[in-house]
Structure 1
Amino acid sequence: MKRNSANVGRASWRLLLLVLLLVFIGTAAWFWRDFTRFGTTPLHVSETGESVEIGRGTSFKDIVHQLRGQGLSTAAPLYWRLLAEQMHVSGRLHAGEYAIEPGITPQQLLTNMAEGKVLQRDVTIVDGWTFREVLQALAKADKLKHDTAGVDDATIMQKIGAPGEKPEGNFLPETYAYVKGDSDLDILRRAHAAMSKTLATLWTQRAPDLPLNSRYDALILASIVEKETGRADERPRIAGVFIRRLQKKMLLQTDPSVIYGMGSSYAGTIHKSDLTTDTPYNTYTRPGLPPTPIAMPGKPAIEAALHPAAGDELYFVARGDGTHAFANTLDEQNRNVACYQLKHCQ
Structure 2
Amino acid sequence: MSDKPMRGRVSPRALLLILLLALAGALVYGWNDFSRFSNTPLNVTAQGDSIDVGRGTSFRNIVGELNQRNLSAANPLYWRLLAEQMRVAGKLHAGEYALAAGITPRQLLANMATGKVLQRNFTIVDGWTFGELRQALAKADKLDHNSASLDDATIMQKIGAPGEAPEGRFLPETYAYVKGDSDLDILKRAHVDMVKTLDALWPGRDKDLPLATPYDALILASIVEKETGRADERARIAGVFVRRLENHMLLQTDPSVIYGMGANYAGNIHKSDLTTDTPYNTYTRPGLPPTPIALPGKPALLAALHPAAGTELYFVARGDGGHVFSSTLEEHNRNVDCYQRKRCP
- Distance in 2 of aligned mates of 1:95 and 1:101: 18
User: Match of 2:164?
Assistant: 165
User: Match of 2:304?
Assistant: 305
- Distance in 1 of aligned mates of 2:277 and 2:262: 13
User: Match of 2:39?
Assistant: 40
User: Match of 1:217?
Assistant: 216
After superposition, give the CA deviation of every residue in 1:4-31 in whole Å (9 maximum; x if it has no partner). 459997x611121111111111111110
- Distance in 1 of aligned mates of 2:95 and 2:147: 23
Judged with a 3 Å threshold, the aligned counterparts in structure 2 of structure 1 residues 279 and 16 are, in CA distance, closer, same or farther, namely same
User: Match of 2:191?
Assistant: 192
User: Match of 1:230?
Assistant: 229
Amino acid at match of 2:220: L
User: Match of 1:154?
Assistant: 153
Q: Secondary structure at the match of 1:52?
A: strand
User: Match of 2:51?
Assistant: 52
- Distance in 2 of aligned mates of 1:285 and 1:46: 60
- Distance in 2 of aligned mates of 1:263 and 1:152: 17
- Distance in 1 of aligned mates of 2:329 and 2:5: 126
Q: Secondary structure at the match of 1:259?
A: helix
RMSD: 1.4
Q: Secondary structure at the match of 2:122?
A: strand
User: Match of 1:179?
Assistant: 178
- Distance in 1 of aligned mates of 2:84 and 2:182: 36
User: Match of 1:245?
Assistant: 244
- Distance in 2 of aligned mates of 1:5 and 1:339: 118
Q: Secondary structure at the match of 1:73?
A: coil
- Distance in 1 of aligned mates of 2:97 and 2:302: 39
- Distance in 1 of aligned mates of 2:312 and 2:232: 15
Q: Secondary structure at the match of 1:176?
A: strand
- How many angstroms does 1:83 deviate by? 0.5
- Distance in 1 of aligned mates of 2:142 and 2:331: 54
Aligned residue runs from structure 1 range 103-118, under 5 A: 103-118=102-117
Amino acid at match of 2:209: L
Report whether the alignment pairs 1:17 with 2:24. Answer: no
The percent of aligned pairs where both chains have the same amino acid is 72
User: Match of 2:272?
Assistant: 273
User: Match of 2:140?
Assistant: 141
- Distance in 2 of aligned mates of 1:26 and 1:135: 63
TM-score by length of 2: 0.98
User: Match of 1:94?
Assistant: 93
Aligned residue runs from structure 1 range 312-327, under 5 A: 312-327=311-326
Amino acid at match of 2:86: M
Q: Secondary structure at the match of 1:21?
A: helix
TM-score by length of 1: 0.97
Judged with a 3 Å threshold, the aligned counterparts in structure 2 of structure 1 residues 8 and 334 are, in CA distance, closer, same or farther, namely closer
- Distance in 1 of aligned mates of 2:5 and 2:330: 128
- Distance in 2 of aligned mates of 1:135 and 1:66: 35
- Distance in 2 of aligned mates of 1:344 and 1:43: 66
Amino acid at match of 1:178: Y
Q: Secondary structure at the match of 1:35?
A: helix
Q: Secondary structure at the match of 1:241?
A: helix
After superposition, give the CA deviation of every residue in 1:42-91 in whole Å (9 maximum; x if it has no partner). 11112111100001111212211121122111111110010011111111
- Distance in 2 of aligned mates of 1:58 and 1:323: 57
- How many angstroms does 1:115 deviate by? 1.1
- Distance in 1 of aligned mates of 2:100 and 2:309: 53
- Distance in 2 of aligned mates of 1:120 and 1:156: 24
- Distance in 2 of aligned mates of 1:68 and 1:98: 16
Amino acid at match of 2:238: A
After superposition, give the CA deviation of every residue in 1:311-338 in whole Å (9 maximum; x if it has no partner). 1111111111111111111111111111
- How many angstroms does 1:100 deviate by? 0.5
Q: Secondary structure at the match of 2:316?
A: strand
- Distance in 1 of aligned mates of 2:225 and 2:240: 14
- Distance in 2 of aligned mates of 1:4 and 1:89: 59
- Distance in 2 of aligned mates of 1:100 and 1:325: 52
- Distance in 1 of aligned mates of 2:250 and 2:44: 62
Q: Secondary structure at the match of 1:89?
A: coil
- Distance in 1 of aligned mates of 2:140 and 2:299: 26
User: Match of 1:85?
Assistant: 84
Structure 1: tracts of 5 or more residues without a match? none
- Distance in 2 of aligned mates of 1:159 and 1:2: 100
Structure 2: tracts of 5 or more residues without a match? none
Amino acid at match of 2:21: L
User: Match of 2:118?
Assistant: 119
User: Match of 1:339?
Assistant: 338
Amino acid at match of 2:91: R
Which runs of structure 1 show a deviation greater than 6 angstroms over 4 or more consecutive aligned residues?
A: 6-9
Amino acid at match of 1:197: K
User: Match of 2:30?
Assistant: 31
